[in-house]
């Protein structure tokens, strides 16, 4: 399959929803739906990602529609920004391509009681301290190592294990999606090779689009929700974006190798072998789910340890305990995950497997899975942008439950491949360009900044506008980066 662009049908359903009809391809079990406005749909047509939306509609047991968020772009199997729910009672499948290689890549936001004036003239020193302290980049190891029984407990329990080690608080767990722990994780389904890759990488940032940013709250759109989250105008926040590192990558790679001939064994016909899958209730499906959940727990522990190191760095730099700086976790959300959830479909509440690939859970006010603090306002939805523009905090809305299985976009979405971004950056100093915009950037290499330059991404404000107006999540606050560490 080539990636020159999508030339199939796109029918407009509303100002912010487009349909790929079932009739487009024989074998589609449901239609495709893409959330976008006029400006974004032109960018989306230039990529083959809509073809992937149509291909996902072939999966057995898929419910309602194959969905894509406005940050949609080409991925492995599923597009980035792809969402689908499958019903195990109808032969529904689990597909590693619907989760991705970086299992439970996600983002967390920490608020502080600092304001812009407290840090503005000390940003270079602060970013140097974060850069020295927090391991970032390909293959980097960190100060924590987990092996043997400790690793098995971490894979089984996620952030709960770190609490028993004095590296997490009750509040940290309460403000992490799923409490930082997926039940039924099976460390036995994680290969020795995967475990070896993860022994000393928990608490490390990685490379690519992963980052730690210092941000300032620039705009508040929902004062009450912002108050509940502890976000104030001019307040300083820290955003962390990372995942399951080499361990998660290996779990996915192992699963894809194992599942290579499985669809044919179960009589499943697919238009793309990257959609390799297995029935959820099969032994193969359960094996992948057990390993995927273990990798997801590892990722939550990774972000928890990254936050712990950031707290320690701030405490040393500002000469106050992190508790005195009120460096409290606002929320942590997963971006690449498959979870068993209860949803109402065609008037019936049922348990389905929701695949979110480059997409974020966005549960509304009152949902039973939300912590008491957020049940009145809805789940915080954290949408990182690019290094030069902004990130957003929203809250989930009832429209997400009605339209997208409680899901929203996860970021701005790429418009340039990493190769194209590097080509475009030749002869430029991205760090200096960012400095002119008021952003202090630290990175292991010029290439890392070039790949992630602002021009490589869609405008996050446009993406957020779509999910806001489509009723999936509503705006709470806009945060502007003033310092960034990249791998």
Catalytic residue among 73, 241, 367, 410: 410
- Which of these, 37, 35, 33, 40, lies nearest to 56 by C-alpha position? 33
Between CA 426 and CA 244 the distance in angstroms is 31
Q: What is the pLDDT of residues 263-281, one digit of tens each?
A: 999 999 999 999 999 999 9
Give which of 266, 269, 259 is closest to 291, Cα–Cα: 259
Lowest mean pLDDT among 55-59, 83-87, 450-454: 450-454
Q: pLDDT at position 458, please?
A: 82
Q: What is the pLDDT of residues 386-430, one digit of tens each?
A: 888 899 999 999 999 999 999 999 998 888 888 888 888 888 888
Percent share of the chain, pLDDT over 90? 86
Q: What pLDDT, on the 0 to 100 scale, is given for residue 3?
A: 58
Q: Chain-wide mean pLDDT for the chain?
A: 95
**Separation between Cα atoms, residue 285 and residue 275, nearest integer Å:** 13
| Stretch among 55-69, 333-347, 412-426, 467-481 having the lowest mean pLDDT | 412-426
The percent helix, strand, coil of the chain (3-state, each to 5) is: 35, 25, 35
Using a pLDDT cut of 70, give the percent of the chain over it.
99
Give 12: exposed, middle or buried? Use CB within 10 Å, 0-12, 13-18, 19+: exposed
Tens digit of pLDDT for each residue in 121-174?
Answer: 999 999 999 999 998 877 777 899 999 999 999 999 999 999 999 999 999 999
Indicate the burial class of 347 (C-beta count within 10 angstroms; 0-12, 13-18, 19 or more): exposed
| 184 membership: H or E segment, kind and range | none
Q: How confident is the model at residue 446 (pLDDT cuts 50, 70, 90)?
A: confident
pLDDT of residue 325: 98
73 is catalytic: no
- Is 1 a residue whose pLDDT tops 50? no
Q: Looking at residue 435, what is its pLDDT?
A: 84
Smallest Cα–Cα separation from 358: which of 137, 78, 55?
A: 78
HEC secondary structure over 160-202: HHHHHCCCCCHHHHHCEHHHHCCCCCCHHHCCHHHHHHHCCCC
Q: Is domain 11-486 annotated with CATH 3.90.1860.10?
A: yes
Whether 154 contacts 303, CB under 8 Å:
no
| pLDDT at position 311 | 98
414 vs 85, more confident: 85
- Residue 209: pLDDT band by 50, 70, 90 thresholds? confident
Distance CA 473, CA 274 (A): 31
DSSP 117-165: HHHGGGHHHHHHHHHHHS--STT---S----HHHHHHHHHHTHHHHHHT
Residue 353 contacts residue 85 (beta carbons within 8 Å)? yes
Q: What is the DSSP code (8-state) at residue 327?
A: -
Closest CA to 92 of 347, 266, 300: 266
Of residues 420 and 329, more confidently modeled: 329
Domain spans of the chain? 11-486
How far is residue 85's CA from residue 420's CA, in Å, rounded to a whole number?
Answer: 33
Per-residue confidence (pLDDT) for residue 447, from 0 to 100? 80
Least confident range of 248-262, 297-311, 346-360, 416-430: 416-430
């Amino acid at each position: 399959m080539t990636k020159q662009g999508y030339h199939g049908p796109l029918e407009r359903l509303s100002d912010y929803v487009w349909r790929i009809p079932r009739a487009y391809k024989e074998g589609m079990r449901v239609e495709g739906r893409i959330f976008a406005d006029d400006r974004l749909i032109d960018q989306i047509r230039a990529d083959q990602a809509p073809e992937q939306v149509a291909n996902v509609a072939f999966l057995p047991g898929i419910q309602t529609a194959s969905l894509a968020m406005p940050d949609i772009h080409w991925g492995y199997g599923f597009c980035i920004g792809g969402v689908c729910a499958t019903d195990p009672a109808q032969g529904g499948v689990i597909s590693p391509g619907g989760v991705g290689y970086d299992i439970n890549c996600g983002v967390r936001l920490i608020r502080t009681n600092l304001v812009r004036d407290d840090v503005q003239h000390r940003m270079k020193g602060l970013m140097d301290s974060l850069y020295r302290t927090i391991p970032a980049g390909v293959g980097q190891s960190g100060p924590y190592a987990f092996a043997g029984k400790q690793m098995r407990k971490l894979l089984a329990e996620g952030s709960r294990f770190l609490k028993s080690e004095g590296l997490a608080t009750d509040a940290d767990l309460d403000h992490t999606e799923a409490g930082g722990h997926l039940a039924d994780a099976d460390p036995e389904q994680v290969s020795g090779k995967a475990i070896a890759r993860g022994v000393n990488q928990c608490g490390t940032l990685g490379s690519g689009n992963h980052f730690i940013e210092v941000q300032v709250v620039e705009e508040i759109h929902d004062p009450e929700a912002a108050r509940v989250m502890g976000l104030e105008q001019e307040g300083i926040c820290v955003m962390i974006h990372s995942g399951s590192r080499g361990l998660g990558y290996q779990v996915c790679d192992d699963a894809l190798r194992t599942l290579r001939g499985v669809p044919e064994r179960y009589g499943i016909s697919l238009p793309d072998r990257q959609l390799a899958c297995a029935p959820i209730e099969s032994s193969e499906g359960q094996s992948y789910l057990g390993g995927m959940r273990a990798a997801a727990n590892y990722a939550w522990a990774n972000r928890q340890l990254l936050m712990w190191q950031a707290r320690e760095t701030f405490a040393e730099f500002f000469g106050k305990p992190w508790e005195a700086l009120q460096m409290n976790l606002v929320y942590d959300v997963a971006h690449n995950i498959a979870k068993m959830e209860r949803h109402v479909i065609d008037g019936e509440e049922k348990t389905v497997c929701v695949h979110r690939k480059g997409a974020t859970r966005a549960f509304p006010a009152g949902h039973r899975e939300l912590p008491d603090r957020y049940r009145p306002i809805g789940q915080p939805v954290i949408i990182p942008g690019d290094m030069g523009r902004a990130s957003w905090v929203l809250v989930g809305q009832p429209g997400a439950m009605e339209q997208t299985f409680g899901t929203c976009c996860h970021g701005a979405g790429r418009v340039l491949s990493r190769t194209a971004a590097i080509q475009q950056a030749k002869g430029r100093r991205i760090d200096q360009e960012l400095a002119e915009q008021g952003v202090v950037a630290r990175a292991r290499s010029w290439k890392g900044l070039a790949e992630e330059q602002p021009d490589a991404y869609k405008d996050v404000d446009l993406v957020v506008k779509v999910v806001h107006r489509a009723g999936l999540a509503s705006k709470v606050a806009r945060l502007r980066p003033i310092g960034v560490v990249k791998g």
